[in-house]
Structure 1
Amino acid sequence: MVWGGWDRHEPQQTTERFAALLRDQGFDVTVTGDLDVYLDADLLARQAVIVQCVTMSTITPEQVKGLLNAVRGGVGFAGWHGGAGDSFRNTPDYQYMVGGQWVAHPGNIFEYTVQITADHAITRGLRDFAMHSEQYYLHTDPSNTVLATTTFTGEHDPWIAGTVMPVAWTRRYGQGRVAYCALGHVNADFEVMEARELVLRGLLWAAGQLD
């Protein structure tokens, strides 16, 4: 698990939350704040899943090459909110792997609904639920398998009224499984059971432990 970047997303706290949950599932979890871990091809190749929570940072060409090679070769990748969906704005190769990039959150913090839209191991048993947080507007890859969405009312930006936006998705990048969830602006957001489960199950799915 790799954390860093903008500290108002509470990357260390949220990473520690999911590190504990993964340990409860029997995983041997390593946590680091150093992107140079992506330079160690042998280490990455031994991982079931790479979990990243790094917002608005930069990554070197060598670091991103190491990450993408690992995922393409079969290592899973998963993350949430800006920690995976707004990580390296000047690195489109990374965005191509994740399947999307944050561009706006009109209205900032308010209550909205997340709709569960797919029958999938990640969503099974979950129902539509309310979030009081940022409603992410993303540019997304049409090849994603979308698991949950949210609909913009247009209250804050009228021209996007009725826009249905993916909230959680899975995809493949080479041989690797990729899972992303747009929820989780701060650690407290994961007190919402459904938000926490979407992320945790995404980590498990990306690791090949959930089908």
Structure 2
Amino acid sequence: MSKQALIVWGGWPGHQPGECAAVIGGMLREEGFEVVTENTTEAFTDPSLRDFSLIVPIVTMSTIEKEEIEGLSEAVRSGVGLAGFHGQMGDSFRNEVKYQFMVGGQWVAHPGNIIDYTVQVTRPDDPIMEGITEFPYHSEQYYMHVDPNNEVLATTTFRGDHCAWIDGHVMPVVWKRRHGEGRVFYSSLGHVAAEFEVPQMRTIMRRGMLWAARG
């Protein structure tokens, strides 16, 4: 029996949630997953949520009902994997600290908006980052509030061009963590669907989802 993955998309349309869901769905099907796609967070209240191997939320901002966040949190704590990218997982449900506690971070700024920056690999020995070295990136450079419990796999260093007081600050870009029995993976790369054409970004996301997936 193939592993099942649930993709839930919605929220702010500027991040192209539908297009990104299609890309993620295709990647997971290539890896042998049976993929279920929903465009409402009501899916998180389904009792069968714990039967999935992986959940990929693709929802920027928006809101979520108490029973929905409870269902998602309990599923991950029971062992279902959670994986996502950019604001589609790192800037979702801003009022829900339970969600942020699970993800391990929350977006707060992207000084300069779309800019050129560099991603530094901090754990080249980790299977998710194997063979990937420092690479340039053109997108929003995410400044985030992050959990010190994260296992950081890649970082970026801010310059003071747009905010002088953060010059030289090193910020996590890719991390993995545990939430109960579940594995959680996050990458801040991936503003829009076209960014999946960057080989390093696509490889990191693919491997991160596979690592997070139960079983």
Q: TM-score range with shorter-chain normalisation?
A: over 0.9
Note the alpha carbon deviations across 1:15-64, whole angstroms, 9 max, x for none: 110110110110000111011110012x2111001011100110011000
Residue 31 of structure 1: SS of its match in structure 2?
A: strand
* Matched residue type, 2:154: A
Contact 2:119 2:156 in 1 (8 A): yes
* Matched residue type, 2:160: G
Aligned partner of 2:91 in structure 1 is 86
State whether structure 2 residue 95 is matched by structure 1 residue 53: no
**Equivalent runs, 1:1-211 vs 2, <5 Å:** 1-41=7-47, 43-118=48-123, 119-208=125-214
2: distance between equivalents of 1:70 and 1:112?
Answer: 36
Cα drift, residue 127 of structure 1: 1.1
Structure 1 unaligned regions, length at least 5: none
1: distance between equivalents of 2:18 and 2:126?
Answer: 29
2: distance between equivalents of 1:136 and 1:110?
Answer: 11
Q: Count residues in correspondence.
A: 208
Residue 38 of structure 2: SS of its match in structure 1?
A: coil
Runs of 4+ in 1 over 6 A off after TM superposition: none
What is the TM-score of this pair, normalised by structure 1? Answer: 0.97
Residue 70 of structure 1: SS of its match in structure 2?
A: helix
Structure 2 unaligned regions, length at least 5: 1-6
User: Which deviates more, 101-110 or 190-199?
Assistant: 190-199
Residue 19 of structure 1: SS of its match in structure 2?
A: helix
Residue 12 of structure 1: SS of its match in structure 2?
A: helix
1: distance between equivalents of 2:21 and 2:186?
Answer: 14
* Matched residue type, 1:97: M
Residue 87 of structure 1: SS of its match in structure 2?
A: coil
Contact 2:184 2:212 in 1 (8 A): yes
Cα drift, residue 208 of structure 1: 4.0
Percent identity among equivalent residues? 55
What is the TM-score of this pair, normalised by structure 2? Answer: 0.95
